[in-house]
Amino acid sequence: MKICFELNGKQVTLEIEQRETLAEVLRGRCRLTGVKISCEAQVCGSCTVLVNGLPVSACTLLGYEVRGKRVTTIEGLAREAGRLHPIQQAFLDNFSFQCGFCTPGMILTAKALLDENSAATDEEIIAHMSGNLCRCTGYLPILKAIRQAAAVLRGQK
Ligand code: FES
Ligand code: FES
């Protein structure tokens, strides 16, 4: 079937199988391998992308369900050539990843929160991020990065 949607700011039209998940479409057809696949059961958050600004698990959403919608992956986050989004920069500054497998999903989930509320408390950040699991870094550097990014984004308003 044919689907049209906005992907990282550009309109795309693709021919896909009805049974393909959004993660399969993005990785296999669009070559956006920042979308990670791990549990395939909406448990770990590795495959998180934004659909109309909200975080979703691309492993359990079917590709055709984003018809007419706006999809953002980690590849679409950097603002312009050579300039990272403040959340990406904060993850680098705070050593908030080791293997990096969870990182795209973490950053996109955090973006959804900070777009809505850049003054989120630690409790709100922790609750919002609870669907994203990290197996190696530990959560404190991730929390610190989100706090730092929130402060930068507040300063830009
Ligand atoms: S791979 Fe989608 S939630 Fe784990
Ligand atoms: S950095 Fe390895 S799973 Fe999070």
pLDDT, tens digit (0-9, with 9 covering 90-100), for 106-132: 999 999 999 999 999 999 999 999 999
Nearest CA to ligand 2 atom 2: 99
Residue 97: nearest ligand to its CA? 2
Measured in Å, how far apart are the chain's first and last C-alpha atoms? 42
| Residue 48 CB less than 6 A away from ligand 1 | no
User: What pTM, to 2 d.p., does this model score?
Assistant: 0.96
Q: What distance in Å separates the CA atoms of residue 67 and residue 90, rounded to the nearest whole number?
A: 32
Closest atom of ligand 1 to CA, residue 40 = 1
State the pLDDT confidence band at 156, using cuts at 50, 70 and 90: confident
Q: What distance in Å separates the CA atoms of residue 135 and residue 105, rounded to the nearest whole number?
A: 13
